[in-house]
Amino acid sequence: MTGMSSELRTRAIVGVVLILVALAALFSGGFLFWMLLSVAGVLMQGEWGDLTGATPENRKLAMFAVSVPLAILCPVAAGVSWLAFTLMAAAFFFVALVGRSIRLALGVPYIVVPVMALLFLREQAPNLQGLLLTLWALGLVWATDIGAYFAGRSIGGPKLAPRVSPSKTWAGLGGGVLAALTVGFLLHRFADLPVQLAAASGLLAVAAQLGDLLESWMKRRAGVKDSGTLLPGHGGVMDRLDGVVAAAPLAAICYMILVQLP
């Protein structure tokens, strides 16, 4: 019991620190937000390499390759642009050909696309709209995780994908969607988030859960519990951002289609 209590305490402390660091970078915007996302992206590429069984040499090769499109995303460079997309594609083919592994190369778009999406949302103007949009995209993922955890624990019931993640239930998915919708409409009510984005929060919650399941499948295939050991009580960086990876691009698409185009 003492060991479990200590583990939960460590997990809670690290979780709070991670959220505070993310919020500090998010509110600062610009260079600091890009830097945090880029460092996380390079670390995730390393973990992706481990999960795909890459050799140490090819793992380092992929980490170097993904740093190129991440670097060009810097606000003082090209930022979110077609050049960044081009370099992402080039990095993908470079890793696939030199590393001789499509699976390893898939880590490049897996990482760069959500980083682009979050930077795109953060850069939106006027006033605090960019900050609000990014808070919405990140906050609903956090809410989904919390809602899914408590609904799954309290309700239980049929498993969502027992062969991939035995602990996930349909009740947990429903609780996650409800929590995400709650966050979305609270932001609409008190921060003027467009109502169409608030309504889309449930769809993004489903995407976040699918992102979680994808990483769970990769870990099961690799025969490991966590993607890494960098974060005490949490595992690796991928373990913390698997839902964001799937939800952030969809959030950017929803913004462009539901808000910008009309």
For the chain, what percent of residues have pLDDT higher than 90?
Answer: 72
DSSP classification of residue 228: -
pLDDT band at 148 (very low <50, low <70, confident <90, very high): very high
Sign of the alpha-carbon torsion through 103, 108, 111, 113: negative
Q: Tell me: the pLDDT tens digits for 203-254?
A: 999 999 999 999 999 999 999 988 988 877 678 999 999 999 999 999 999 9
Same domain, yes or no: 141 and 84? no
Same domain, yes or no: 195 and 109? no
pLDDT at position 1 is: 44
Same domain, yes or no: 94 and 130? no
Q: Tell me: the pLDDT tens digits for 52-91?
A: 999 999 999 999 999 999 999 999 999 999 999 999 999 9
Same domain, yes or no: 258 and 191? yes
What six digits make up the tokens of 2?
């003492």
User: What is the residue range of 59's domain?
Assistant: 1-123
**Bond into 56 cis (ω within 30):** no
Q: What are the Cα distances from residue 185, in Å, to 116, 140, 191, 224, 229? A: 25, 11, 9, 38, 36
Q: Tell me: the pLDDT tens digits for 128-146?
A: 689 999 999 999 999 999 9
Contact, 227 vs 215, CB < 8 A? yes
Same domain, yes or no: 116 and 238? no
Same domain, yes or no: 75 and 52? yes
Backbone angles phi, psi at 169, to 5 degrees: -125, 165
Same domain, yes or no: 91 and 129? no
pLDDT at position 28 is: 87
Same domain, yes or no: 80 and 129? no
Number of domains in the chain: 2
SS3 content of the chain, % helix, strand, coil (to 5): 80, 5, 20
Q: What is the C-alpha separation between 185 and 196, in angstroms, rounded? A: 10
Q: Tell me: the pLDDT tens digits for 249-259?
A: 999 999 999 99
Same domain, yes or no: 12 and 142? no
Q: Which residue, 123, 157, 186, sits at the end of a domain?
A: 123
Q: Which residue, 65, 90, 123, sits at the end of a domain?
A: 123
pLDDT band at 34 (very low <50, low <70, confident <90, very high): very high
Same domain, yes or no: 140 and 250? yes
Helix/strand/coil for 142: helix
90 membership: H or E segment, kind and range? helix 82-98
Between residues 170 and 16, the one the model is more confident about: 170
